[in-house]
Amino acid sequence: MKLKTKMLVATLMLVTIASLGIATATAKPKDEKPVAELPKCPVMDEPVDFRISTMTDEGPAYFCCKMCVGKFQKDPKKYAEKTKVQRKALAKRDRVQVACPISGEAIDKDVHVGEGDDRVYFCCGKCKSKYEASPEKFAAKLAASYTYQTRCPIMGGKIDPKSHLKLAGGETVYFCCPGCDKKLLAEPTKYVKNLNKQGYGFDAKDIKKAEDK
């Protein structure tokens, strides 16, 4: 009887240790914040899909579906107030600059204006000079130079704009480090939900390299 009790205790201890190991392996990075509620589409008042947008004089406006884009473009004034509400929500949301607001090319972290969280990055010194001469001229393009996909869908860490994957549909997915792109391509069903949580409504079938198009 004592032997059985000892065996039962040992088994329970092994299960507990294994459970702790799994919890540690799946724990979120310490610096990861809870994902904020998604802004609402100005047409349908539903959560946006950040893949679906149209450009305006103030920057991109985001929608829940492509049908809403057409409705918005036909009468943008009709949705002006709700678009302002969306922009206020966007201003409170984490984002990462990934493109030069002048050329649209990848940014160089050594070329910037401002300090700290107010930094604006560029691809080259020439673009920096253009921006400094007339920053208000590029306000809309600057607003479009950010991604709201701030977390790697594989590891959960902060993205590095240099680590990215161009998909067949034209979208770009960002990662924390090289190699994560291969994991996403190998197991899209496993990781696509981590993009969905950030407002990017991909299906597993959407995760294909641009070369496969």
Query: Which residue did the predictor score with more confidence, 24 or 139?
Result: 139
- C-alpha–C-alpha distance, residues 5 and 7, integer Å: 5
3-state SS class at 40: strand
Torsions phi, psi for 87 (to 5 deg): -65, -35
Task: Return the number of other C-beta atoms located less than 10 Å from residue 87's C-beta.
Answer: 18
The token duo for 211 is 């070369």
**What does the pLDDT read at residue 89?**
97
pLDDT, tens digit (0-9, with 9 covering 90-100), for 46-105 = 999 999 999 999 999 999 999 999 999 999 999 999 999 999 999 999 999 999 999 999
- C-alpha–C-alpha distance, residues 189 and 207, integer Å: 9
pLDDT at 32 over 70: no
**What does the pLDDT read at residue 158?**
97
- Residue 140 · residue 55 · CB < 8 Å: yes
Q: What are the boundaries of each domain within the chain?
A: 31-93, 99-144, 160-212
pLDDT at 1 over 90: no
**What does the pLDDT read at residue 15?**
47
Rank 4-8, 10-14, 192-196, 208-212 by mean pLDDT and report only the highest: 192-196
**What does the pLDDT read at residue 213?**
46
Of the candidate ranges 21-25, 48-52, 100-104, 122-126, the one whose mean pLDDT is the lowest = 21-25
Instruction: Report which secondary-structure segment, H or E, holds 120.
Output: strand 120-122
Confidence of residue 212 (pLDDT cuts 50, 70, 90): low
